[in-house]
């Protein structure tokens, strides 16, 4: 997991291939993914890069964290595991459901 990096503050025009190109200067890039809005297809402004080794990942952090790319200073650090989300995806709540309920008399 030490070779998977979070990359934040990306320009909205950044795409997977250009992200890969920036990181390839520091070693083998196993994958590069800019996260996109589902509806609009626009970048969310962050992504993930997986480097070939933890040494290459550290070199990329040293070389790109704070570096200005497309007018924005990148944030690059080791990615953390995704935290479990609370709720059921429908606004959370008390899980009693909605709709018609019979009245108790």
| The two three-digit tokens of residue 8, written as one number | 């934040």
Name the E strands within the chain: 4-8, 29-36, 43-51, 68-69, 72-73, 75-78
Considering only 11-20, 30-39, 68-77, 82-91, which range has the smallest mean pLDDT?
82-91
Percentage of the chain surpassing pLDDT 70? Answer: 81
The model's pLDDT over 54-67, given as tens digits with 9 standing for 90+, comes to 999 999 999 999 99
Percentage of the chain surpassing pLDDT 90? Answer: 70
Where are the alpha helices (H) located in 35-103, listed in sequence order? 54-64
The model's pLDDT over 68-103, given as tens digits with 9 standing for 90+, comes to 999 999 999 999 988 887 765 555 555 555 555 566
Measuring CA to CA, how many Å separate 104 from each of 18, 101? 63, 9
Other beta carbons within 10 Å of 19: 23
Q: How far is CA 39 from the centre of its chain?
A: 17
């Amino acid at each position: 997991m030490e070779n998977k990096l979070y990359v934040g503050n990306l320009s909205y025009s950044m795409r997977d291939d250009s992200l890969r190109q920036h990181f390839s200067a520091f070693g083998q890039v196993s994958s590069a993914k800019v996260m996109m809005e589902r509806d609009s297809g626009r970048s969310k402004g962050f992504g993930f890069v997986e480097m070939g080794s933890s040494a290459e990942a550290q070199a990329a952090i040293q070389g790109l964290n704070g570096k200005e790319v497309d007018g924005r200073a990148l944030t690059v650090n080791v990615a953390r595991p995704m935290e479990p989300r609370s709720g059921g995806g429908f606004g959370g709540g008390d899980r009693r459901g909605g709709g018609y309920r019979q009245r108790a008399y």
